[in-house]
């Protein structure tokens, strides 16, 4: 039940002792530091367990004396928590503990103190330290309740965009409690550090701005002073009283600053490359399949003169992010140039293409024959490779190595065929596979027999070193198969790429059964965590890496990458490609990008839940861990729940009108915490990819 008032000590807020968070808790200690630094802080005191403040006045009489000094002629008070678990650099615990406003009279005061103390037992940290006890040592902060004419929350950096050169302010008429509890969206101001107004959302009528230029100037000055006191960006609550005086109600470190891409960071996206490698890849799969793809596409762009050779040499054209494949969208030509005017007047691209025109002209007529020869060579080589069980270890490795080399050529020709030859007959490997599957199913053939008789069916299965996924169920496909030979050049090359993938996978599966026989056998799951060079070393009796047992497989249960993004600290930051538009009508509150199933917070929680609510109620904090997204009809990006959501990297959009009605339970959604876009997807839909580039 907490500590009775008689066992509490009184620590005035403007004393050196109050600056120690071990004594008064982080919230009160921050205000005490502010008060000692002459920032505009309301007077007050902190009630702490007596053993924390030796020598401080203790007992009911001391508490009553301190209360009377603030209560005065019936002035209302505010009684707030100051826990060791909140307002720290690692976790804000924003809004998790109780605060009681408009407290009047001694009985009301003691009841409010007990309410705050009791919340320490009821609410525990969402990420508590190991063996953390209940916060029985909660301190209680007591101050006069100031009736704000205009109140708000100010972040001295933009936590959504990760910009330290911007200040983000949300304001309302009245006190800031309306914002922090998520019940009101307020008006959001973006300011420079020189007090220039960048924009407001929503727009305010002329002459009715809540923040005048004078108020903005004073807020920016307070932000800079507070940063100097605490040595970093701050999350602040403030209010202007009826006389226009500015008061600081709270200051704490910003705990969830979004990472910001470095200047010049590449614009990446799954684009067309995800059609070939749609799943999450383990390290060995990356080396076997992504590296040759990147080399092949780079070769195609170089042949076509589509990009400077120096640029192509700088970094891989295709990469992976947490195992998901992505490509440089600008080099692929999947998005417009960032500087079209400069490109127009720059003679280098035209000269480069002119130099490649002769090669491309000859290649356009020769490519079908070159591709036919390559496909025939691949078919013969694959047919000549014995079953994996009949091969020696070195032969298994040679087959995998040959696959890496030929994949580079296949990817190069496939890219050039798409750019130079057009769609051809329009037939696709997937279409032929579905026709063969429908025909085989009508004859009652087993899955094993179908795959053996119709290798084209591999076009329906994603590549993997693990077990193959089952073939699709009933397809309803009625077209008759015309055979692999009827496929256009590009589709034929794509099918060979898939066949080489599967050959390599079969060889690696066999190697997994031979390496480290007995209790030390790594198994296929562990073997997939090797890099290519490590597999070669292990196959040549060099042994497995000592840390192999400590490596963790990448989770296959992750959402898709944004259609376009830049990397910041290894994390994708979604971005709209130039010229693109979205229908999202909310405000981004940070947390990244996620995909999942809409859930209203009631009933059974879906595996990947996007919580869709009317307001950002702080009581929802316990459900934040593991959410795929958070969408709210009201609320501010600076509210307590939005702060907590960013700490847990939950993609969050606020101020989305009609979200609860528009996104009923079960709707598949993508949430972009950067732009505030919320997009509905079909259940079997993947992220729309950019068009195939012209090499």
Give me the pLDDT at residue 132, please: 42
Say if 464 falls within a structural domain: no
Give me the pLDDT at residue 692, please: 35
The residue with tokens 């209203």 is: 600
- In angstroms, the CA 437 to CA 456 distance is 9
In the predicted model, residues of the chain with pLDDT beneath 50 are 1-3, 90-92, 126, 128-135, 341-348, 517-520, 579-583, 684-695
Contact 120, 86 (CB under 8 A): no
Distances in whole angstroms, Cα of residue 445 to Cα of each of 50, 323, 452, 453, 481:
80, 35, 11, 10, 16
Give me the pLDDT at residue 555, please: 87
Distances in whole angstroms, Cα of residue 487 to Cα of each of 275, 296, 456:
18, 21, 11
Q: Are residues 235 and 341 in the same domain?
A: no
Contact 24, 15 (CB under 8 A): no
- Of 672, 585, 688, nearest to 630 by C-alpha is 672
Give me the pLDDT at residue 400, please: 97
Q: What values do phi and psi take at 597, rounded to 5?
A: -100, 130
Give me the pLDDT at residue 581, please: 44
Query: What CATH number does the domain containing 574 carry?
Result: 3.50.30.10
- In angstroms, the CA 597 to CA 583 distance is 19
β-partners of residue 326 are 319
Strands, sheet with 318-321, edge to edge from the N-terminal-most edge strand: 318-321, 324-328, 268-269, 565-568, 571-574
Please list the helix, strand and coil fractions of the chain in percent, rounded to the nearest 5, in that order: 40, 15, 40
DSSP β-ladder status, 668-672 and 77-82: unpaired
Say if 407 falls within a structural domain: yes
> Which residue among 115, 144, 173 closes a domain?
144
- In angstroms, the CA 180 to CA 238 distance is 11
Going by the DSSP 8-state scheme, the letter that residue 322 receives in this structure is T
CB neighbourhood size of 229 (10 A): 16
pLDDT in tens, 637-647: 777 778 778 87
pLDDT in tens, 344-393: 444 445 555 555 665 667 777 888 899 999 999 999 999 999 999 999 98
Say if 399 falls within a structural domain: yes
Range of the domain at 102: 5-144
Give me the pLDDT at residue 7, please: 85
Q: Are residues 320 and 410 in the same domain?
A: yes
Going by the DSSP 8-state scheme, the letter that residue 287 receives in this structure is I
> Which residue among 220, 253, 286 closes a domain?
253
Say if 172 falls within a structural domain: yes
Predicted TM-score (pTM) of the model is 0.70
Burial 110-148 (b: 16+ CB within 10 A, else e): bebbbbbbebbeebeebeeeeeeeebebbbbbbbebbeb
- End-to-end CA gap in the chain: 71
Our measurement of the distance from residue 188's CA atom to the centroid of its chain's CA atoms, rounded to an integer in Å, reads 23
- In angstroms, the CA 79 to CA 408 distance is 68
Say if 472 falls within a structural domain: no
Distances in whole angstroms, Cα of residue 611 to Cα of each of 617, 652, 677:
12, 9, 15
| 241 CB-contact burial (10 Å; exposed 0-12 / middle 13-18 / buried 19+) | middle
DSSP string, 155-193: ESSBTTTTBTTEEEEEEEES-THHHHTTS---EEEEEET
- Of 392, 469, 408, 481, nearest to 443 by C-alpha is 481
Q: Are residues 296 and 379 in the same domain?
A: yes
Structural domain count, the chain: 4
Q: Are residues 618 and 503 in the same domain?
A: no
DSSP string, 110-172: HHHHHHHHHHHHH---SSPPTTPPP-TT-EEEEEE----SEEEEEESSBTTTTBTTEEEEEEE
Dihedral of CA atoms 476, 482, 485, 487 in degrees, nearest 10, equals: -50
Query: What CATH number does the domain containing 77 carry?
Result: 3.30.1490.20
Q: Are residues 542 and 605 in the same domain?
A: no
Say if 690 falls within a structural domain: no
Q: Are residues 205 and 319 in the same domain?
A: no
Gyration radius of the chain over CA positions? 31
Q: Are residues 206 and 63 in the same domain?
A: no
Residue 298, token pair as written in the block: 């780079």
Q: Are residues 549 and 625 in the same domain?
A: no
Q: Are residues 554 and 569 in the same domain?
A: no
The residue with tokens 């004419």 is: 149
Q: Are residues 127 and 155 in the same domain?
A: no
Q: Are residues 403 and 355 in the same domain?
A: yes
> Which residue among 110, 144, 178 closes a domain?
144
Give me the pLDDT at residue 112, please: 92
Burial 450-482 (b: 16+ CB within 10 A, else e): bbeebbbbbbbbebbbeeeeebeeeeebeeebe
Q: Are residues 67 and 116 in the same domain?
A: yes
Distances in whole angstroms, Cα of residue 246 to Cα of each of 31, 65, 185, 638:
15, 28, 21, 19
Query: What CATH number does the domain containing 193 carry?
Result: 3.30.470.20
- In angstroms, the CA 642 to CA 95 distance is 11
DSSP β-ladder status, 593-599 and 609-613: parallel
Dihedral of CA atoms 110, 114, 116, 119 in degrees, nearest 10, equals: -170
Say if 54 falls within a structural domain: yes
Give me the pLDDT at residue 558, please: 75
Say if 263 falls within a structural domain: no
């Amino acid at each position: 039940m907490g500590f009775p008032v008689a066992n509490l000590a009184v620590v005035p807020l403007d004393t050196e002792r109050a600056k120690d968070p071990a004594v008064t808790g982080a919230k009160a200690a921050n205000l005490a530091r502010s008060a000692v630094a002459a920032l505009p802080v309301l007077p007050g005191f902190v009630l702490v367990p007596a053993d924390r403040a030796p020598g401080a006045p203790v007992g009911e009489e001391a508490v009553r004396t301190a209360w009377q000094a603030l209560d005065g002629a019936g002035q209302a008070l505010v009684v707030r928590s100051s826990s060791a678990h909140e307002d720290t650099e690692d976790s804000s615990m924003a809004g998790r503990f109780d605060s009681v406003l408009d407290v009047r009279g001694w009985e009301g005061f003691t009841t409010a103190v007990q309410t705050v103390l009791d919340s320490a037992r009821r609410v525990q940290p969402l990420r508590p330290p190991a063996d953390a006890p209940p916060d029985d040592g909660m301190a209680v902060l007591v101050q006069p309740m100031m009736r704000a004419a205009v109140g708000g929350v100010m972040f001295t950096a933009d936590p959504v965009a990760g910009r330290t050169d911007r200040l983000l302010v949300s304001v309302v008429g009245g006190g800031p409690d309306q914002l922090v509890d998520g019940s009101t969206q307020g008006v959001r101001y973006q300011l420079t550090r020189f007090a220039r107004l960048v924009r407001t959302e929503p727009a305010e009528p002329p002459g009715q701005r809540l923040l005048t230029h004078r108020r903005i100037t004073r807020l920016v000055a307070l932000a800079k002073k507070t940063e100097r006191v605490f040595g970093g960006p701050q999350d602040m609550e403030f209010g202007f009283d009826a006389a226009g005086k500015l008061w600081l109600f709270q200051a704490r470190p910003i705990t969830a600053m979004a990472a910001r891409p470095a200047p010049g960071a590449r614009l990446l996206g799954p684009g067309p490359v995800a059609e070939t490698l749609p799943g999450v890849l383990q390290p060995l799969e990356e080396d076997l399949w992504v590296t040759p793809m990147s080399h092949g596409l780079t070769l195609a762009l170089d042949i076509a003169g589509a990009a400077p050779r120096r640029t192509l040499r700088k970094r891989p054209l295709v990469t992976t992010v947490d195992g998901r494949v992505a490509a440089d969208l600008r080099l692929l030509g999947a998005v417009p140039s960032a500087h079209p005017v400069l490109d127009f007047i720059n003679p280098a691209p035209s000269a480069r293409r002119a130099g490649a025109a002769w090669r491309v002209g000859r290649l356009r007529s020769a490519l079908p024959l070159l591709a036919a020869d390559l496909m025939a060579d691949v078919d013969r080589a694959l047919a000549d490779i014995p079953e994996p069980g009949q091969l020696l270890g070195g032969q298994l490795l040679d087959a995998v190595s040959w696959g890496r080399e030929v994949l580079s050529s296949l990817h190069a020709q496939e890219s050039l065929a798409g750019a130079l030859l057009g769609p051809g007959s329009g037939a696709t490997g997937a279409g032929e596979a579905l026709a063969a599957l429908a025909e085989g199913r009508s004859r009652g053939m087993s899955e094993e027999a179908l795959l053996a008789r119709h290798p084209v069916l591999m076009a329906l299965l994603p590549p993997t070193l693990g077990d193959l996924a089952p073939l699709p169920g009933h397809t309803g496909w009625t077209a008759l198969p015309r055979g692999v030979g009827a496929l256009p050049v590009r589709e034929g090359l794509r099918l060979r790429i898939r066949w080489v993938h599967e050959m390599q996978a079969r060889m690696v599966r066999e190697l997994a059964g031979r390496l480290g026989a007995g209790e030390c056998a790594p198994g296929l799951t562990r073997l997939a965590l090797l890099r290519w060079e490590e597999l070669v070393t292990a196959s040549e009796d060099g042994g497995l890496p000592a840390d192999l047992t400590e490596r963790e497989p990448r989770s296959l249960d992750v959402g898709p990458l944004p259609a376009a993004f830049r990397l910041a600290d290894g994390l994708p930051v979604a971005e709209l490609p130039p010229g693109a538009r979205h229908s999202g009508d909310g405000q981004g509150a940070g947390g990244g990008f996620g995909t999942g199933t809409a859930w209203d917070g009631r009933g059974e929680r879906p595996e990947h839940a996007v919580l869709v609510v009317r307001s950002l109620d702080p009581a929802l904090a316990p459900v934040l861990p593991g959410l795929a997204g958070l969408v709210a009809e009201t609320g501010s990006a600076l509210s307590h729940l939005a702060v907590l959501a960013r700490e847990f990297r939950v993609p969050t959009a606020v101020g989305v009108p009609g979200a609860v009605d528009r996104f009923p339970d079960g709707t598949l959604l993508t949430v972009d915490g950067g732009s505030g876009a919320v997009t509905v997807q079909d259940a079997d839909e993947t992220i729309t990819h950019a068009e195939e580039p012209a090499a």
